Amino acid sequence: MSEKAVQQPDWRRGTVTSNGIRLATYELGDSSKPTVLLVHGWPDTHHLWTHIAPRLAERYHVVAYDCRGFGESDRPRQVAAYSLDELADDLYAVAESVSPDDAVHVVAHDWGSVQTWEAVSRPRANARIASFVSVSGPNLDHLGQFVRDQVASPTPRHLRNVLAQSMSSAYTGLFQLPVLPNVLLRALGNPTVWKQFLRAVEGTPPENVDVADSLRRDMVTGLALYRANIRAKLLRPDPRTTTVPVLQVVNERDIALRPAIYDNTPTYAAKLWRRDTPTGHWLPYTHPEYLTGLVLDFLALQTNSGDPAPAIERARLFTEPKPLAGKLVVITGAGSGIGRETALALAERGCELVLADLDLASADETARACKVAGSAAHAYLLDVSDTADFVAFAARIRDLHGVPDIVVNNAGIGLAGGVLAATDEQVDRLLDVNLRGVVTGSREFGRQMVERGVGGHIVNIASAAAFTPSRSLGLYSASKAGVLLFSESLRAELAEHRIGVSAICPGLVDTNIVSSTPIAGLDAEAEQARRDRLDRFYQRRGFTPDRVAGEIVAAIEHNRAVVPVTVEAKVGYRIYRFAPWLSRIGARQNVTG
């Protein structure tokens, strides 16, 4: 059965001549509005923008063109005709033809982005290019300098960066050969085969991929891009600065380009925004709605046509390479202990923080500390046990700040003593906060992440008590065991959406939860005396919340499933898995005594 053809926009066709080369152009929208110029890469044509151009044309004059060697444009035979100098000349020729009086806003992908970097690095760029959205395409001069810098100071991390990029770029070496790549690409150039290839490497829906009838020919002709530019730029980089505003969209799962190669961009781009997402190379096909939204938000900022969108504001916070920079993070129970230390750790990494707590004053204090660390932070009052209030809170955060990239469901309370001695009120409160609150936060923000479609991460704070049975912590253990198994199940459910879920299981950590934990079955005086003894014991143990925060950050960065924290938690986790009878013997000890 043949695939259904993608509906083409109603393009207005034209031509522009650049240095004797005829370039096919395609226009949408009102030509009196600001012009957005769309530049494709290899092996695409203007068809790459099929899903994006119509939405942009609702607000802007949109122009796409087939780069030389592709689609309906001319195909010079000499390899030298595909140098970045020639390609940048083409871009300027199209821009001056379709928008003779005003600078254009450029959105480019892959080699389209590479050639636009060359264009914005020229002295005349400010007069002709108003802004630049770069997707899946580096500045080759920046890349060449990056490799030199990494090799010049060969730390293990630098060597890993170079090795990782070398492996991802291995195909570019193949493309330098004279005959073999031509043969391979003629086979890969069948549209059906190409669509299945994109589906296999990054899950691109075949029905989203729109290719020209000239695909096979475009693939082979486009080899000249690699042959004319890669070796020259890597061997003799000439990095230059630009003052054109740039939004750099970095795809963390790009099969060809590793995120680390963009870390030196701030050195050369004076006005830089950066957005990292767990997406692949062909973002215009895999997530066209998401990319269109980013472009529209950035253009609104550059044209002063609306309030800056939260996601773009966060991207502007990016001033130097930092893990997780620009991410929006929601943390419950952020007023103290593990929640506060996690907020501070993520603030140091350039995240924007939404901090919720039952004690608004303490959340405010954490927010002020995060601002001192250089990050934006917002404090909110929230009782996670109130499901309706939590649902409304999640909707409010989406409307005011956007969909969070990371959610840390940290709010929790303790309950010690025997199960039989606990009151119904104590049981209900414990489960409402520790388990139902985690479920609500995970569901509400998880739904938002799924709808957005570009992944995310959810962290749920469980406890070593989840796998360490105890006669004195039965109800607390039950609530945290529920969090652990819920998190593992949710991780499986959300894996297909590229949303990670981590369950953090701290052991004995010195936080204020101990001093406020009720102990069932004791009168007030005996309860306080026993709490004081426990509190002193935890203080002597000396494991502080900032160390747990470090484990949480690592779990986010490496997408870890279950993270026991502290020696006793790690030992207890393994005992429960491999020798559960030992856990049952230990459970008979009265740990609150």
**Could you give the residue numbers annotated as active site?**
476
What SS3 string covers 350-419? Answer: CCEEEEEECCHHHHHHHHHHHHHCCCCEEEEECCCCCHHHHHHHHHHHHHHHCCCCEEEECCCCCCECCC
Alpha carbon distance 335, 331 (integer Å) = 9
Instruction: Give, in order, the Cα–Cα distances in Å from 427 to each of 99, 468, 514.
Output: 68, 19, 17
Which residues on neighbouring strands pair with residue 377, listed in sequence order?
Answer: 353
Q: Which run of H or E residues covers position 134?
A: strand 129-135
Neighbouring CB atoms inside 10 A of 103's CB total 17
Place of tokens 């603030």: 347
Question: Does residue 194 come out as left (phi exceeding 0), alpha (psi in the -120 to 50 range) or beta?
Answer: alpha
Alpha carbon distance 59, 81 (integer Å) = 35
Cα–Cα nearest to 418, from 377, 457, 472, 371: 472
Alpha carbon distance 353, 10 (integer Å) = 43
Which residues on neighbouring strands pair with residue 172, listed in sequence order?
Answer: none
Is 124 buried (19+), middle (13-18) or exposed (0-12) by CB count in 10 A?
A: exposed
Q: Which run of H or E residues covers position 265?
A: helix 265-268
Question: Do 343 and 366 meet the contact criterion of CB atoms below 8 Å apart?
Answer: yes
Residues 6 or more apart in contact with residue 313 via CB below 8 angstroms: 376
Using DSSP bridges, classify how beta strands 21-28 and 12-18 pair: parallel, antiparallel or unpaired.
Answer: antiparallel
Question: Do 224 and 81 meet the contact criterion of CB atoms below 8 Å apart?
Answer: yes
Q: In what order do the strands lie in the sheet with 246-251?
A: 12-18, 21-28, 61-65, 35-39, 104-109, 129-135, 246-251, 272-277
Instruction: Give, in order, the Cα–Cα distances in Å from 423 to each of 299, 324, 426, 430, 519.
Output: 58, 43, 5, 11, 11
Coil, strand, or helix at residue 472?
coil
CA 483 to chain centroid, in Å, comes to 25
